[in-house]
Amino acid sequence: MKLLSQVLVCRRLFVPNTRCKSTSAITDLASFLKTSQGKDQTTSTFRGTLFEWQTCEALQKTTGMQLRRTGGRSDRGVDLYGEWPIETILGQGKDTLSTSPCIIVQCKNIKSGCTPDHIRSLVGAVVLSNDSTRDTIGILAGVRPFTREVTEHFMGSNVPLGLARIKDTSVQSLLFNAAADDILQGLMVVTQYNADGITQEPVLMYDGMPIKLDLSPSSSSSHDVS
C-alpha cells in the first residue's frame, strides 16, 4: 500500500507539456505581478511566491524544462514540478533518453543561504515522488551561493539532485550531482563569462556543444545543437 501511494503521488504531481503554468488565474510571473499590484509586497509569502515564479521562468528559458507551480499546503514540499523533455530538445534523431525525467523543485528565498537540512528535505521529496516508469531529479533553488557543507551533502547523495542559484529571472549557476549526471547522459548547464569577464551567462550543452533553445510559443521541437 505504501509503494502504491508513492506512485500515485508522483503521477498526481507530474503534468506533461506545461511551462510555468498554474491551475489558478495566475499562470506565469507576469500575471502574478499584475494581480499583486496594490498588495503588500513586503510579506514573506509574497517574496516566497515571487521567487518561485522567478525560478520557474529562469529554469524554463535556460534549460527548456516544462514546469508547473504547485503552492498551497498540499504541495508535499514541492514548489515546482514537471519534466525536462530532453529527447525533444536534442532531437529525435540523436542517441538520447527514451523518456524525459521528472523534475521537482524546492525554492528557498533565504538571505542566510540554504543548509544541509534543505538537501535532506529535497532528498525526501524526490524519494516520495519517485516514478517507477521514469527517473526523477530534484532541484534546490536558492538566492545565495551554496556553502561547502551543503555542496558536500549534495555531491555525496545517491539521489539525483541539482543545485540552482537564481537571481531575478536568471540562472546564475546550475550544478548536478553524479546520480543526476547518469540520467542526463552528457546534458549539462555550464556558466560562461561574457567579454567583460564579469557577467555570467548559463549555457545548455550536450557532449561539449552548446544548444540553442527556441522557446517561442509556436516552437515544438526546434532546438539546435551548434
In the predicted model, what is the mean pLDDT of the chain? 81
Beta pairing, strands 223-225 & 209-213:
antiparallel
Domain range summary for the chain, segments of one domain joined by +: 2-225
Is residue 24 within 8 Å of 49, Cβ to Cβ? no
Highest mean pLDDT among 122-136, 142-156, 186-200, 206-220: 142-156
The average pLDDT across 172-193 equals: 91
pLDDT at 16: 39
Tens of pLDDT, residue by residue over 38-94, are: 888 889 999 999 999 999 999 999 999 999 998 665 567 899 999 999 888 887 545
Whole-prediction pTM? 0.81
Does 162 score more than 90 pLDDT?
yes
Cell numbers given for 142 = 536558492
Virtual torsion, Cα 141, 146, 152, 155, nearest 10 deg: 40
Query: 18 vs 27, 84, 110, 145, CA distance in Å?
Result: 10, 10, 27, 29
Confidence class for position 171, pLDDT limits 50, 70, 90 = very high
H helices, E strands: number in the chain? 7, 10
Does the CA dihedral 151-153-157-163 come out positive or negative? negative
SS3 of residue 138 by DSSP: strand
CA distance 44 to 40: 10
CA angle 178, 180, 184 (to 5 degrees): 115
% the chain with pLDDT above 90: 48
Confidence class for position 207, pLDDT limits 50, 70, 90 = confident
Is residue 87 within 8 Å of 98, Cβ to Cβ? yes
CA distance 204 to 190: 7
% the chain with pLDDT above 70: 78
CA angle 119, 120, 126 (to 5 degrees): 90
CA distance 185 to 194: 27
DSSP conformational letter for 118: H
Q: Where are the alpha helices (DSSP H) in 36-171?
A: 44-63, 86-90, 116-128, 148-156
pLDDT at 22: 52
pLDDT at 12: 38
